[in-house]
Structure 1
Amino acid sequence: MARSTESEPETKTTDAYRLIENEDKPPDIKYEKENSWVAGVQMFVSFLLAGFGMVAASLLLDVVQHWDVFTKVSEVYILVPALLGLKGNLEMTLASRLSTHAHLGHLDTSLGSLVMGNLCLIQCQAVLVGFLAAMAAVAMGWIPEGEFDIHHASLLCASSVLTASTASFVLGLIMIGVIVVSKKMNINPDNVATPIAASLGDLTTLALLSWIASVLYKSLGTSLVLPSIIIIIGALLVPVCGYIAWSNDFTRQALDEGWVPVVSAMVISSAGGLILDHTVSIYTGIAVYQLVINGIGGNMVAVHASRLSTQLHTGQKEGSVIGSTTKLLLLMVIPGQLIFIYTIGYLRAGHTSTTPTFILIYMSAAMLQVFLLLTISHYMVAWMWKMGMDPDNSAIPYLTALGDLLGTALLGVAFSILYAIGDKDSDLGD
């Protein structure tokens, strides 16, 4: 028998972010037990795509680092990891938010409002994040040399702001498309959205940054007009997009909560960068493996957090620390890492031989990193929910930054052990 809309209040969009008891689920939430093998295949394929996207970004960086703008304006090279890290967090939190909305049925009932609110939200966040990353690069380039170059600073700010703004708009539309298509094809967006966001985000942002910085470099030293216009337009976009996002029920909470995690993640990742800087000076071969261990670990914990957040939003019971999702993800660590280790070996990108001893110790570090991340994710998402914060907005930046820190530290320990036991086939310092 059809229920009268007058007898029961409609579910408001603002109710999207409250815990719903199983017996009180609104009719747009249809929860069916997910087949573990199907979920595993969906996640593994998306991890492979993300991994190869990461490899493609590394190969692109290897090409563009020889361009004039990278060699003459060294701060652009400093800008790359900061901008990619900050932008990556924006894309993955967007993917996690939209996945939850897909499960809550809001893509069917309020797609237009969701698209407008989220595109304006990430535009506002991206411009500010682009400016923040540029300022960090300017400071890191200025402090050692002791002199400030206004032309270099304007080039960095304009390139970073325009790259972040353009990439966010394009990737935002792509992620909305991916999640809509996933739901149509009966694929769980929580399993595929965050890794796809990560892989497309790095490649797109790096390609745009390289091209935009090269174009602006041609006017370097002659005029500040073009960079100034770009920065002013970016500054005007922030309040306009921020107001639209604040006026939207779907994005108001994200606009309020999304800043501290993203900035905190940059600080945590910087600590990982200091560890990497120290270990690379001792073991040259560590750099390329750091990309793999951190990339895979970050993607896995992002999927884990996204799935946990959706469970809480849709009123499902909180599982144990070693739940089915955790077991599935841990099972994927070894095959996933092996694929990329041998890909690196095939491309001859690493300086370290893949001996059995190396693989054993490296895999131990990778397994420990992912296990620690998934455990932290379980408790962090539950704690944020109890504190009234939305894990979709706040958890992933902290977790991916912790992944960078743990991965780099554990990799340093692994290489130290290899050096100590005398694995002579591993050219650790070559």
Structure 2
Amino acid sequence: MMHELPPAVYEKENSVQNDKTSAIIPVHKNTTRNPEQWYTVGSQVFLPFMIAGFGMVAAGLVLEHVKELALFKQITEIYVLVPALLGLKGNLEMTLASRLSTQANIGNMDKRDELKSMIIGNIVLIQLQATVVGFLAAIISMVTGWVPQGQFNLRHALVLCSSSVSTASVASLALAIVMIIVIVVSHRCKINPDNIATPLAASLGDLTTLSILAGIGGLFFQIIDNYTWLPIAITTFFLTLIPVWIIFAKRNKYVSDVLIHGWSPVISAMFISSTGGLILDFALQKFLGLAVFQPVMNGVGGNLAAVQTSRLSTALHQQGKPGDYCDNDDYSSATSCSNPYTVFCSKKSDSSTARVLLLMSIPGHLIFILLIWQFTADHIQLSYSFVTLYLVAALVQIGILLYIAQWMVAFVWRQGQDPDNICIPYLTAIGDLLGTGLLTCVFLVLSY
């Protein structure tokens, strides 16, 4: 005959059973959430997206102008450097935005001491990565430009190295400070930083980077004959700061892991962007008017893919730690390699966001094309054929990037790595390569 246990005994045994179970089943921070509606995502993303687009239009106009300067005409290798530096801005600032947005959404920004440590650590890390990758980008531009010619110009090498390192460091510092302010303010205003931070990271990024490169590079190019020591001294100064940045970053708990595992995505992305630079070098010499569209085509795709990546990563961080599997229905699409139909046409919240981002690009690109035409009507003529082919190329680029983002976030998460630190550099670099290649194809088709 079975005897019913007293309530106290039952509760004790039940708690023991729960303790045993909790040792096996991981407990997540937040196993439920109310997904944002598509119109909420659209309303929060659209304004930063348009602001970023205006910045890219301005960057395209600047690129169209600076390519007539003596620096860009005599040192043509700088065209290989331009996508690498613009991509570096995207890699570092968008990764920073995604990383800090995740910290904000999981509550780590609510304490002042933690926020201060987080800000200092990320600024130091950004400076370290910008200096190293800026120097490597200059080396690659020299190798790809001069090896086929069989000659080496020391003056041009000094100008490229000093300009690249200086531009990367100064632009990254300025943009990092802006991004930190945007994320902290949006978090305190109860706006999801994932929806606005990554587009705003590019709003002034391309324009700032191109302007600094043209200004600093032009100055070094003018004084290289009389003050050869100055580019050498500046390059040496930035390189000697690398050990200092490493020491500070290693002691900061928020970036110490990125210091070890965050290099391969950034450096690999630089190589991919440099490949796009080779295409750009060819296209700018062959097609009039292509330069002004290049930052817009590349930037829009990278920005929208970064928004989706940041949202997917934050959703997974809210469920557990990298490597944990989430079987929550809202996030099942973010933890598996879905087919294209599931990514864009399912009823999942992430699929809804992908559709919103893809469709948002159409009116955005049309407005950007109209702005470009208004500012360059004297030497760029638009046609229905161009606009149609341009939109098709843009949609193909964005669709590929959104699908890769869905697959890559899931893959990186299952490998126990943080998607915030790995995915965006690859996506922005692939976006640069795809954008430059597809835009060149548009001009090739129209030329025939």
Decide: shared fold, TM above 0.5: yes
Q: 1:190 Cα shift?
A: 0.8
Q: 1:336 Cα shift?
A: 1.2
Deviations along 1:257-308, one digit per CA (max 9) or x if unpaired, are 2221122223323444455566667765655444333221111101111111
- 8 Å contact kept, 1:79–1:134: yes
Distance 2:372 2:432 in 1: 19
Superposed counterparts of 1:19-418, under 5 Å: 24-25=28-29, 32-109=34-111, 110-275=114-279, 284=288, 287-315=291-319, 317=328, 318-320=331-333, 321-322=343-344, 323-348=351-376, 351=380, 353-355=382-384, 357-411=385-439
- 8 Å contact kept, 2:126–2:172: yes
Deviations along 1:72-103, one digit per CA (max 9) or x if unpaired, are 44444443222222232111111111111111
Question: Which range moved further: 299-308 or 99-108?
Answer: 99-108
Distance 2:234 2:56 in 1: 29
- 8 Å contact kept, 1:304–1:374: yes
Change in CA separation of 1:102 and 1:347 when aligned onto 2, cut-off 3 Å:
same
- 8 Å contact kept, 1:191–1:307: yes
Change in CA separation of 1:270 and 1:164 when aligned onto 2, cut-off 3 Å:
closer
Question: Which range moved further: 40-49 or 223-232?
Answer: 223-232
TM-score, scaled relative to structure 2:
0.80
Distance 1:342 1:146 in 2: 43
- 8 Å contact kept, 1:53–1:200: yes
Distance 2:292 2:232 in 1: 37
- 8 Å contact kept, 1:87–1:129: no
Name which one, 1 or 2, has greater alpha-carbon Rg. 2
Distance 1:298 1:54 in 2: 12
Match of 2:14 in 1: none
Q: 1:412 Cα shift?
A: 5.1
Listed as ranges, the gaps of 5+ residues in structure 2 are 1-24, 320-325, 334-342, 345-350
- 8 Å contact kept, 1:246–1:252: yes
Question: Which range moved further: 257-266 or 269-278?
Answer: 269-278
Which residue identity is paired with 1:401? A
Q: 1:411 Cα shift?
A: 4.2
Deviations along 1:346-379, one digit per CA (max 9) or x if unpaired, are 2236745231x44444333322322222111111
Change in CA separation of 1:272 and 1:204 when aligned onto 2, cut-off 3 Å:
closer
Q: 1:180 Cα shift?
A: 0.6
1:223 is paired with a residue whose SS is: coil
- 8 Å contact kept, 2:64–2:292: no
Match of 2:447 in 1: 429
Q: 1:429 Cα shift?
A: 2.9
Match of 1:425 in 2: none
- 8 Å contact kept, 1:284–1:429: no
Change in CA separation of 1:112 and 1:39 when aligned onto 2, cut-off 3 Å:
same
Match of 1:5 in 2: none
Distance 1:235 1:412 in 2: 36
Which residue identity is paired with 1:429? S
Distance 2:98 2:437 in 1: 27
Distance 2:34 2:226 in 1: 63
Change in CA separation of 1:343 and 1:326 when aligned onto 2, cut-off 3 Å:
same
Instruction: Quote the sequence identity (%).
Output: 50
- Cα RMSD of the aligned pairs, angstroms, is 2.7
1:24 is paired with a residue whose SS is: coil
- 8 Å contact kept, 2:79–2:280: no
Deviations along 1:24-64, one digit per CA (max 9) or x if unpaired, are 317xx995543432221121111111111111112223333
Which residue identity is paired with 1:251? V
- 8 Å contact kept, 1:305–1:381: yes
TM-score, scaled relative to structure 1:
0.84
Q: 1:146 Cα shift?
A: 3.0
Listed as ranges, the gaps of 5+ residues in structure 1 are 1-19, 420-427
Change in CA separation of 1:219 and 1:291 when aligned onto 2, cut-off 3 Å:
closer
Distance 1:196 1:33 in 2: 23
Distance 1:63 1:281 in 2: 14
Which residue identity is paired with 1:247? R
Q: How many residues align?
A: 397
Which residue identity is paired with 1:183? H
- 8 Å contact kept, 1:282–1:429: no
